[in-house]
Amino acid sequence: MHTRLLLGIVAVGLAQNVGIGTSNPTHRLHLANLSSTDLGLLRVEALSTTHGSLGTFSSTGVLGHVAKTGNSADLLQGDLTFGPDKTDWRLTGNAGTAPSSNFLGTTDNQPLAFRTNNSERMRLLTDGRIWIGTTSDLTPSNNVLNVRSDDAASARAITARSDTIGLYGEATSDLGPGIAGVYSDLATGGIGFFARGNNLSSFPTNINPAGFVAQGTVWGIMGEARSTSISPRMGGYFTNTNATTYSRVAVRDGTNTYKIQGTGSVNTVIQDGQGGVRLMTAPEAPQFLFQDFGEGLLKEGKAFIPVEPLLLPHIVIEELQVWVTPLAPCKGLYALPTPEKGGFFVYERGGGKSDIPFVWGWGAPVKGWERFPRVSSPPKSQTPSQP
């Protein structure tokens, strides 16, 4: 047997090909399969390792091996060693990264898209803007962050929750608000911005369309002007489109302070008993006045009515105006203000001595106010941004 093998090797060796298990080798070394269970395998003892190995050749053609690490996640490196890929983002997280050189994204002028269920959910544009739930800019455009929910009635684009401030917006110039809420112009109703406090759960539906709606168990809305120098400043400002009618609330104008200041009349409504309401209008005067009303009793044609002590420090009592009306027959009544006594006398005309009831009322200017005091004009723009 050894003789036949040697002769076979020599014979084929003259043709420069060596065959084992074949008399017609096609390569320099040809290991033929003798059967389906006896394959033409080559064993090199030096390549044997616990985890197996890969064969390799040196620069001089010497056969060697690359030892495996036993970690199935390791990859073959360019230097013919096994190890983790230092440039990939792994499903179980990465360690030892440097933000200046390791990142998730693109290096060319192309956006980065994120998908789930093979549908795009988010896209980072090349200029840094972000689309979430949309594949185009929302209106108005030029938004750094565009977020759109689906069309379901219960869907919300953004929900923010915090122990301090749920959502904070800041404008660094006078060009716009820190946070703006706009109801789509495709709808005929709705609320542009809705704020709810104190863990309330109901949503107002009977007051839209409205630009802003606020709910709270104690304060529905609160406004505070913090400047100590700007004039006028106010807690709230309300107007129509062209500012022909406006109302300022909690106003500091110059050195004076006002509860409400604005154009138009002061009104209330009452039920008319037929399911409707009717309007009532408050009288207004060019001077700030305090008023009081009451009932008195004339004895032997005379009575004295003191002004409420709480009001005395705030009115110009020397300019007190009084009116009286008898509630029983008499010769008539008249009033005589008596500033030094802090009130006024009521007498029956013609020296009468009647003992009758009467009603009285008085008005007096508030101290420190002139007639027709000047105030600042409202803004003239079509859409006032700075009251």
Summarised one tens digit per residue, pLDDT across range 190-238 is 777 777 777 777 766 667 677 788 888 888 888 999 999 999 999 999 8
What gap in Å lies between CA 243 and CA 92, rounded to an integer?
Answer: 60
346 Rama class: left (phi>0) / alpha (psi -120 to 50) / beta:
beta
Q: Domain segments of the chain: what residues?
A: 2-31, 112-147, 289-365
Strand partners, 248: 237, 261
- The C-alpha atoms of residue 342 and residue 320 are separated, in whole angstroms, by 10
Residues of the chain with pLDDT under 50: 1-14, 382, 384-387
In our burial notation (b when 16+ CB lie closer than 10 A, e otherwise), range 90-127 reads eeeeeeeeeeeeeeeeeeeeeeeeeeeeeeeeebbeee
Task: Tell me the residue type at 340.
Answer: E
Q: What is the pLDDT of residue 11?
A: 42
Residues 248-294 pLDDT 10s: 999 999 888 999 988 888 999 999 999 999 999 999 999 999 999 99
Instruction: Say which CATH architecture domain 289-365 belongs to.
Output: Sandwich (2.60)
pLDDT score of 179: 75
CB atoms < 10 A from the CB of 360, how many? 19
β-bridge pairing 18-20 and 29-31: parallel
> From CA 325, how far away is CA 335, in angstroms rounded?
10
Identify the pLDDT of residue 216.
Answer: 84
pLDDT of residue 2: 40
Q: What is the pLDDT at residue 16?
A: 80
* pLDDT given at position 47: 66
Look at residue 30 in the predicted model and tell me its pLDDT: 84
